[in-house]
Chains A and B, each alone.
Chain A
Amino acid sequence: MATALDSPAKLARARGATCGDLAERRLAPHLLAGFGVRWVLPIALLAAPLSASGQALSVDSTEFRRANDDIDPEDTQQTEGDPRRVDEVDGINLNECERSENWHYEVTTSGYSGNTLFVYTGSNCSDQASRDSTGEDCKVIERITLGTNSSELHEIDLGANEIANIDGEDCEALDDNLRVWFLVLSAEGDETPIASASSPTASDIRVLTVPPAAPSNLTTGAGESRAEVDWEGAVEGEHYYVACSPQPGAQVSPSATEPTADAEGQEVCSGAAPTTGFEAGATFDRRWRCDQPSDETLFADGLAAQSATVDGLENEAQYHFAAVAVDDVGNPSVLSEIACATPRPVEDFFEAYRRAGGRGGGGICGVTPGARAPDGAAAAIVLGLAALLSRRRR
C-alpha cells in the first residue's frame, strides 16, 4: 500500500543531510536470515501531506516483524508467546526488554534525497516540543540519510530495550504506551517533519515490565490419573499456567504414606517438591508448566479462569502444584502457594451402579451389539409418528 505525500523536493534538498548520518544508519537487509520470523503484520504508515509544491514524494508501506521466535533453551523465563495473540501487536515484557529482542521494520522511502529518516520512540513524537534535546518524551534511536535512489528499502532492527527504555535506565518497573515514529527531517531540530509515520498504527506498544501478582488461595482435588487445581484472584486480560512437580509423564514412585488432609479438606504435602526451587514465590521456570507448550488445555484464559484439570498423572504418587499468572504482554508472576494432590482410582456412578447389581447399560438399542430393545414400544412410537406425518400431508 502506498500513501502519497506532497512535499517540496526543493525544500528537502535545501535542508540537506550530513554524510555523518550514513555512519549511524543500521541498514540490515540480511539480518532476517539470522532471526526466525514468528509473525508478520503489515502496518500502514500514516503519512501526512505537508505542503503542496506539486512535486510528489511517497512513503511505501512497511512491515512490522517480531524476531526471535525460537525458544532459547537456556532462557527459562521466556514464556514463548503462548499468551500472545499472533494477530495482535502487543508489547514488550521484562524478559524481552532485558534480552533486547529485535523488532524488525521495513521502511520504503522515495524522493526524500538529502534528508534524514529519523526513528524516534515515544508517545507522540510528531510534535517538535516532544523531540527536544532532553529525550524525556521522545528519544531518537536511528538516523538514516536518504540517498538519491528513486526508491529505497530500509530494513531497521531495533532492540526492545531501545524502544521501551526512553530514559536509558534498566528495564525494571516500566509501564508505558509507546510508538515507534519514522520522521523525515532535514535536520534533527526541525519543527515540522517533511513526512511522518508511526508504527503500529492500530495501537501503542505496551511496555510493561512489572510482573502481575500471583494467584491466591490455591487448592487441589484428586481424581483418577488427574488433579483439579483451583485458584482465586483472576484478573481480566491475564492468562494462567499451572506448574507441576513432578511433570505429568515423568517417572514417579508411589507415595509411601496415605495422603492426609487438613481441616479444610486440602491434601497436605508430605514434603518438599521433587523439583529444585519449586516453592511458593519462586521465579517461574517455563519448564515447570504441566502441559507442553503446544498443548493449550491448561492455558486458562481471562477473568473466568480459576481452575484447570491436569491429566496424565500417575495414581498413588503425590504431585505439587502452583499457579502462575501471565499478563497480556507475557510477564509471568512468581509461583503461587503450593498445593498437593495424590491421584487415585475412582469409581464413577456407572461403575458403582453395576457393582451394586444394576443391569442397565451396554448401548442404545440397535446401535451397540448385544443390546436389546422392546420391539413393541419402539414400533408404537414409529407407527405413531408415521400416522402423524401421514395425516398432516392430507
Chain B
Amino acid sequence: MKPLATLVALVALVLAPGPAAADDMRFLEDDYRSPQNFAFELRLGPYYPAVDDELATAEPFRETFGDNSRLRIGLEFDWQFLSTPVGSLGVGVAAGLMRFVGNSRFEGSGERSSEETTLNVFPIVASVVARLDFAMREWQVPLVLYGKAGVADYLWFVEDGSGKAHADGPSGRPDAVIGQEDTFGVELASGIAFLLDFLEPGAARKLDADSGVNHSYLFLEVLVASIDGLGERDVMIFSDTTWNTGLLLEF
C-alpha cells in the first residue's frame, strides 16, 4: 500500500540524523514559543461512499458515477483546551465537500444520455482530538501521533439537468420526494503528522514570532467513516474507509 510505504520511508528519514541541531530545536520548548491553543487543518483524500450497500442487488451509484473515488476536501478547526506533558486534547469542527458527477440514463434503453446528474455531499463533523507530541517536545523527534473520534452529519442533495432532483413517492405520486437529506454517523481517524519545523527551524521560529503559528505539519491519516444513520433505516449510506492527507497548523 503506497501510503504506508511512504509513511515508513518518512519515519526512517526523520529518525535518521537530521539537519536540525539540538540548539535549533529549542524553540519547541515552551519558553521559546508563543502560546498555543488552536489548530487548523486543510485536508484532502479520496472517497467512495457505500451508497449501494443499502440496496439488495442494484448498484445505481456505481452505474451512474462509476467505480472511481472522488476527491474529498475539507477544513478543520480545533480548540486544544487541555495541554499535558504527554500531549494535547481538543475539540474540533470540520466541514468538507464531495461532488459526484455522472450522466443520467435514458428510460427504457438504459443508454447514457448527455444530461448530467450530480450528487453533492457536505460532511460536517464535531470531534474530539488527541495529539501525542511528547516525543517531539522531549526528544525532538518530529513526529506526532494523533487520533480523532466524532459525530458526523453528511448533508447531500442530487441535481439533474433542471436543478434539484425529485423521484416519485411511495404511493406513486410523481416527483413527491426531493433528492436531498442528511445522514448521521460517526468518524474515527488516526494518523501521524510530520513536523515541518524540523526542516527549517529558523523559518519556523520566524513564523512563530511573526504570526503566532507554533508548528506546521504534513499529516497522513486513516479515516473510518460509518455514515449509516446511527440506526435510522431510511437514509442514504455514505460509509467508507479511506485515507486523508493535508497540512496542519497549530497556533
Instruction: Give A residues with C-beta under 8 Å from B.
Output: 220-224, 226-228, 309, 344-365, 368, 371-374, 376-378, 380-381, 384-385, 387-388, 391-392
Contact = CB atoms under 8 A, between A and B. Distances in A.
B229 to A, nearest CB: 7
A377 B115 contact: no
Contact of A348 (B58, B124, B158): B158
A221 B115 CA distance: 8
Contacts of A351: 165-168
Contact of A350 (B58, B106, B166, B231): B166
A357 B114 contact: no
How many B residues are at the interface, by size bracket? 35 or more
A371 B229 CA distance: 13
A349 B119 contact: yes
Given A221-B114, A378-B184, A360 B160 contact: no
A361 B58 CA distance: 18
A18 to B, nearest CB: 70
Contact of B181 (A349, A360, A392): A360
B29 interface: no
A347 B105 contact: yes
A387 B237 CA distance: 29
A20 B230 CA distance: 97
B113 A384 contact: no
A374 B60 contact: no
27 contacts: A221-B115, A223-B104, A223-B114, A223-B115, A224-B160, A228-B114, A346-B105, A346-B107, A346-B115, A347-B105, A348-B115, A348-B161, A349-B60, A349-B104, A350-B167, A353-B51, A355-B167, A357-B54, A357-B56, A360-B237, A362-B177, A372-B234, A374-B232, A378-B153, A387-B91, A388-B79, A391-B79
Contacts of B54: 357-360
B161 A226 contact: yes
**For B115, B166, B236, which residue has the most chain A Cβ atoms within 10 angstroms?**
B115
A381 B77 CA distance: 15
A374 B64 contact: no
A223 B113 contact: yes
B93 A385 contact: yes
Contact of A376 (B63, B168, B230): B230
A392 B232 contact: no
Interface of B: 51, 54-56, 58-61, 63-65, 79, 81, 91, 93, 102, 104-107, 113-115, 117-119, 124, 126, 151, 153, 155, 158-161, 165-168, 177-184, 229-237
Give chain A's interface secondary structure class: mixed
Contact of A358 (B60, B161, B182): B60
Contacts of B118: 349
Given A350-B166, A374-B229, A381 B104 contact: no
A93 to B, nearest CB: 34
B35 to A, nearest CB: 14
Contacts of B102: 349
A224 B236 contact: no
Nearest to B185: A377
B180 A361 contact: yes
B64 to A, nearest CB: 4
Nearest to A364: B182
Given A227-B114, A353-B236, A380 B181 contact: no
A374 B104 CA distance: 32
Contact of B179 (A221, A361, A377): A361
Given A361-B167, A385-B126, A348 B117 contact: yes
B233 A344 contact: no
Contact of A356 (B55, B106, B151, B182): B55
Contacts of B51: 353, 358
Nearest to A227: B114
Nearest to A354: B167
Contacts of B119: 349
A356 B64 CA distance: 13
Contacts of B237: 360
Contacts of A378: 153, 184
Given A346-B115, A361-B179, A353 B235 contact: no
B165 A349 contact: yes
B128 to A, nearest CB: 9
B151 A358 contact: no
Contacts of B229: 374
A360 B63 contact: no
A224 B115 contact: yes
B102 to A, nearest CB: 7
A248 to B, nearest CB: 14
Nearest to A360: B236
Nearest to B179: A350
Nearest to B238: A360
Contacts of B63: 352
A378 B168 CA distance: 28
B105 to A, nearest CB: 6
Contacts of A385: 93, 126
Contacts of B165: 348-351
Contact of B114 (A222, A358, A364): A222
B153 A352 contact: no
Contact of B177 (A354, A357, A364): A354
Given A372-B232, A384-B91, A349 B65 contact: yes
A363 B181 contact: yes
6 A-B pairs closest in CB distance: A221-B114, A223-B115, A360-B236, A356-B58, A350-B179, A348-B160
Contact of A349 (B55, B79, B117): B117
Nearest to A368: B178
Contacts of B180: 361, 363-364, 368
A261 B113 CA distance: 13
A371 B179 CA distance: 12
Contacts of A374: 184, 229-232
